[in-house]
Amino acid sequence: MYLDGQNNLLLYTEEDKQAVKKEIGLKDSVLEEDIDAILEWFKKEPHLAESPIERHLIEKFLVVAKGSREKTKKRIDNFYKYRTLAPELIQSRIDALTKPDHKLWTFFRQAIIPKLYDGKRITVVGFSGDASAFDTEVMYRNIILTVDLRLKYDYMFSDIWIVDLNNTGLGHLLRVNPVILQKAVNLYQESVGIRVKHIHCVNAPVFGHHVVNFMKKFVKAKMIDRVIIHDTMESLHKYVPKEYLPKDYGGDMPSLVEFTESLNREVKNEKIKGVLIDYCKLVSDESKRPREKYDEECIVGSFKKLDFD
């Protein structure tokens, strides 16, 4: 039975929650002590002390860090820092959410499958064929926005991503802003740090390997190792059962377009909109960060020459 007060986009049972804790050895008997200790640390950090933080958010980071207090502190510090350094991906949502009749999802589609699959949350992303409409800033703003929703309402062990490359071409790839991409990677990989089980690519064009080579410039090697390119939907079904897939992919769930429209409606719900705007306050004051903790490279990341080999 699903728990009371859940968001309909992100469902899990008490059994799901306990299974996640068991998987990582997170014991309820010490969980509250861990949260108290991290909260005490947070309030003593000059660059974090005036920022809000919720106990449930600390718990989510403890899950990511498999119960390690020190790794949790590092994740939380990165989370607040990288959000501060990426206002175009965080603060820009306020205008988009408060504009009447403004749809956040237009040139790309996104589905968050509401049921957990073996403790994993499945997200599906697809694109329109108009490369001129493709905007990496808007795309990553929206994806980070849904990650914030998950930090608030979800409880899972890891992620499965399905990326539909149908309708994409080199025009899309050439419009990727590498600075924005690096900031998005920092926000997801170095900050939130949710484990990624697999990234499934379907309907890949002939230049699909170029996409993978491009991403190697930004993400960790172990993430690239988890990319699986499928020639058929039957191949995808060997990894993800049909009951967890939109019907576009031979599944039993609503279509990707229907999921996207649901997202567009949900984020304009007053309660959800309020949560997403409140999460814009989860930033640090980098002017107060102790000098020994300052790492200039973290501002934009290090870049390599981008070539399409």
Report the number of distinct structural domains present in the chain: 1
pLDDT at 207 > cutoff 80: no
In the three-class reduction of DSSP (H, G, I as helix; E, B as strand; rest coil), residue 165 is classed as coil
Per-residue model confidence (pLDDT) at position 308: 38
Per-residue model confidence (pLDDT) at position 1: 53
Signed CA dihedral, 214, 215, 217, 222: sign only: negative
Quick check: is 61 in a domain? yes
Over range 221-234, report the average pLDDT.
91
In the three-class reduction of DSSP (H, G, I as helix; E, B as strand; rest coil), residue 141 is classed as helix
Domain that holds residue 145: 1-293
Burial of 70 (0-12, 13-18, 19+ CB in 10 A): exposed
**Mean of per-residue pLDDT scores for the chain:** 90
Per-residue model confidence (pLDDT) at position 3: 55
In the chain, the N- to C-terminal Cα span, in Å, equals 50
Quick check: is 300 in a domain? no
Q: Report which of 106, 139, 102 is spatially closest to residue 123, judged by C-alpha positions.
A: 139
pLDDT at 209 > cutoff 90: no
pTM score: 0.90
**DSSP labels for 199-255?**
EEEES--TTHHHHHHHHTTTS-HHHHTTEEE-SSHHHHHTTS-GGGSBGGGT-SBPP
CATH number assigned to the domain comprising residue 220: 3.40.525.10
Quick check: is 302 in a domain? no
Q: Report which of 127, 53, 93 is spatially closest to residue 272, judged by C-alpha positions.
A: 93
Quick check: is 307 in a domain? no
* CA 113 – CA 191 distance, rounded (Å): 23
pLDDT tens digits, 30-62: 999 999 999 999 999 999 999 999 999 999 999
Quick check: is 309 in a domain? no
pLDDT tens digits, 254-278: 999 999 999 999 999 999 999 999 9
Quick check: is 299 in a domain? no
In the three-class reduction of DSSP (H, G, I as helix; E, B as strand; rest coil), residue 158 is classed as strand
Quick check: is 247 in a domain? yes
Both tokens of 19, joined, read 């299974």
Q: Report which of residues 173 and 210 the model is more confident about.
A: 173
CA 124 to each of CA 110, 114, 202, 247: distance values in angstroms, whole numbers, following the listed order: 6, 12, 10, 12
* CA 79 – CA 83 distance, rounded (Å): 6
pLDDT tens digits, 61-98: 999 999 999 999 999 999 999 999 999 999 999 999 99
Both tokens of 179, joined, read 């600075």
* CA 72 – CA 162 distance, rounded (Å): 28
* CA 82 – CA 71 distance, rounded (Å): 16
Quick check: is 236 in a domain? yes
In the three-class reduction of DSSP (H, G, I as helix; E, B as strand; rest coil), residue 124 is classed as strand
